[in-house]
Structure 1
Amino acid sequence: MASSFYSNAQHVDFESVLGMDDHGMVSMFEALMASGLRGFLGCPAVVYEDALVDFFEKASVRSGVIISTVGGQFVEISEELFAESFELPIDGLGDLSEMPKDAIFYARSIVSLSGEPISLSGRKNQMKMSFLLLCDIVAKAISVKAGSFKAITVEKFSLMTAVVCRIKMNWAKFLFGILKKMVTSGSKQAKGFAVQISLLLATFPSLELGESSEFPASKVLTKKTVLRFVSINVRDGAEEVAGAAKTKAVSKKRPAADVEAAVPKRKRTVKKKSVSSISSLELVEVAEEAIPVRVDAQLANLWRVGFIDSCTNDLYI
């Protein structure tokens, strides 16, 4: 079923979301537009399901070009056609490994909910709500990853950095590279770009694409679906905080056996008096005698002012 190609997808209705009252959300979507991704993320949301299934079943990469057959007709998609169809930038970074480290460090503070740089090995709930949504967009609509979307990854955050810090990206090269992975045999890349591929196939006049179907409204970001996203994440965040507090409270309770084990028992020593009767034994506490320590005066002075070398602090006892 073609629906499996967009089960985790995201698409954007820019006209709708740019009319929101939420300044943070609007600024985030404006940054996506400034990055040159409006044509890719906001193209007409139509899917040709039969043609899409046919395309993926027979697609492969030859000499850097994607070829396939749809309805018995030959299809060839080049990076140039891909870039032109979605008006994608062709200048800038083409690989995320080229992302400036200082930009990533700067972005870690910009997106942070607390103001402290977020951890790139943590969960995305460290981020402000608008950047939580951006994290979803880059994961589902750009890098097309399957599985859990709650964790931050270096790849996702590098993509976010490109948007947040307005880093020039060769989005044509990067996105076309992902599409090539989708059709490469043995690749772990999840399949996606259902709307974009449908639009590309529609540019071939000889193809019989069959009936089109609308992209699921729940996967298109509008005022309504963004507000729903916010509501769900606020609720989940509250539940997570409550769960963490409950776990912490439970962990403070210590079993009786552990408490007893933690209390040190006072040791007593038996000392025998110089008497013949064993019944005259008496319990007394034994204290260690203090051992006088002689320290050279000059060494003691160096110790006091803090210049003693830890490797040569010999004490004479």
Structure 2
Amino acid sequence: MAYSFYSNSQHVDFDSVLAMDDQGMVSMFQGLMASGLAGFLGCPAVIYEAALFDFFENASVREGVIISTVAGQLVEISEEWFAESFELPVDGLGDLSEIPKDVIFDARSIVSFSGEPVSLSGRKNQMKIEFLLLCDIMAKAISVKAGSFNAITVEKFSLVTTIVCGVRMNWARILFSTFKKMVTPGSKQAKGFAVQISLLLENIPNLELGESSEFPASKILTDKTVHRFVSINDKAGAEEATGAPKPKAASKKILAVDVGAAVAK
């Protein structure tokens, strides 16, 4: 029912990924922590599906505050409460468009697999594996965009740049702005933040949330799931580099002459 609210999500188990024997990955996750996003990306991964469905079904924005009704009870979420709940930075740039162009240019070389600046109209496999994963995290957990995740867009790369170059961002404003778009009628913004909304609702006194469920383990980045991500992308990259065609399925057709020979035997 509420699976569509987190079908493309990514969550992070920071204790697990920071203990990995992969300096590139560890450095990338350390960058996420330094950005101030650790409390948002690594909060307890529990979801309340019935409550989430209720929340999105009844939510709207009024005077900058998100208002909804869950199990018949009024729920109000302000930007201030949202920021405090996940210890989000409230200082810094309030919009991705404010990132200096020279910083984005520097990031294009830093993340490049080949050393040549990555193309902002190309595919994300131009990037080193840890930044390829970072691109996924920022697209799925921060901007919550639906669709293909293989292409690099200006928005995705701007998000990556904030972490790679340590750009100070007002994540409270940026994330809450995305949150408001999720509940605005007619908006094309995909719905997400399932874990974070569940945590907010859990902290509202006397609110009946129904049964909780564990967030899917496959969507939580741990030592194990990151290694699997690396393995899959290394294999895909090797096949693309060699231009090896995908093996064709063996034909099930049997020639008449072969059948005849078999019958004769």
TM-score (norm 2): 0.91
The residue aligned with 2:151 is 151
**Unmatched 5+ stretches in structure 2:** 247-265
Partner AA of 1:114 in structure 2: S
The residue aligned with 1:107 is 107
CA distance in 1, matches of 2:147, 2:165: 27
The residue aligned with 2:30 is 30
Say if 1:56 and 1:115 are closer, same or farther in 2 by CA, change over 3 A.
Answer: same
CA distance in 2, matches of 1:184, 1:101: 31
The residue aligned with 2:262 is none
CA distance in 1, matches of 2:24, 2:42: 19
Counting only pairs closer than 5 Å after superposition, residues 50-65 of structure 1 correspond to structure 2 as: 50-65=50-65
Counting only pairs closer than 5 Å after superposition, residues 1-317 of structure 1 correspond to structure 2 as: 1-243=1-243
> Alpha-carbon deviation of 1:240?
1.8
User: Secondary structure of the equivalent of 1:90?
Assistant: coil
User: Secondary structure of the equivalent of 2:243?
Assistant: helix
> Alpha-carbon deviation of 1:206?
2.0
Q: CA RMSD in A?
A: 1.1
| Higher relative contact order (Cα pairs below 8 Å, separated by 6+ residues) | 2
CA distance in 2, matches of 1:231, 1:9: 20
Partner AA of 1:50 in structure 2: A
Contact kept in structure 2, 1:36 and 1:89, CA below 8 Å: yes
Partner AA of 1:120 in structure 2: L
> Alpha-carbon deviation of 1:132?
0.4
Contact kept in structure 2, 1:11 and 1:221, CA below 8 Å: yes
Partner AA of 1:89 in structure 2: P
User: Secondary structure of the equivalent of 1:76?
Assistant: strand
**Unmatched 5+ stretches in structure 1:** 247-317
Contact kept in structure 2, 1:40 and 1:196, CA below 8 Å: yes
Partner AA of 1:54 in structure 2: D
Partner AA of 1:195 in structure 2: V
What whole-Å deviation, never above 9, does each CA across 1:87-107 have from its counterpart, x for those lacking one?
A: 000000111110111110000
Contact kept in structure 2, 1:35 and 1:166, CA below 8 Å: yes
CA distance in 1, matches of 2:165, 2:140: 20
Partner AA of 1:172 in structure 2: A
CA distance in 1, matches of 2:151, 2:180: 25
CA distance in 2, matches of 1:69, 1:242: 55
CA distance in 1, matches of 2:233, 2:160: 19
User: Secondary structure of the equivalent of 1:50?
Assistant: helix
CA distance in 2, matches of 1:32, 1:244: 36
User: Secondary structure of the equivalent of 1:233?
Assistant: helix
CA distance in 2, matches of 1:243, 1:182: 41
CA distance in 1, matches of 2:185, 2:15: 38
Contact kept in structure 2, 1:46 and 1:198, CA below 8 Å: yes
CA distance in 2, matches of 1:213, 1:28: 29
Larger radius of gyration, structure 1 or 2? Answer: 1
> Alpha-carbon deviation of 1:116?
1.1
Q: Would you say how many aligned residue pairs link Structure 1 and Structure 2? A: 246
User: Secondary structure of the equivalent of 2:76?
Assistant: strand
Identical amino acids, percent of aligned pairs: 79
Partner AA of 1:59 in structure 2: A
CA distance in 2, matches of 1:162, 1:107: 9
User: Secondary structure of the equivalent of 1:120?
Assistant: coil
> Alpha-carbon deviation of 1:178?
0.4
User: Secondary structure of the equivalent of 1:148?
Assistant: coil
Contact kept in structure 2, 1:73 and 1:206, CA below 8 Å: no
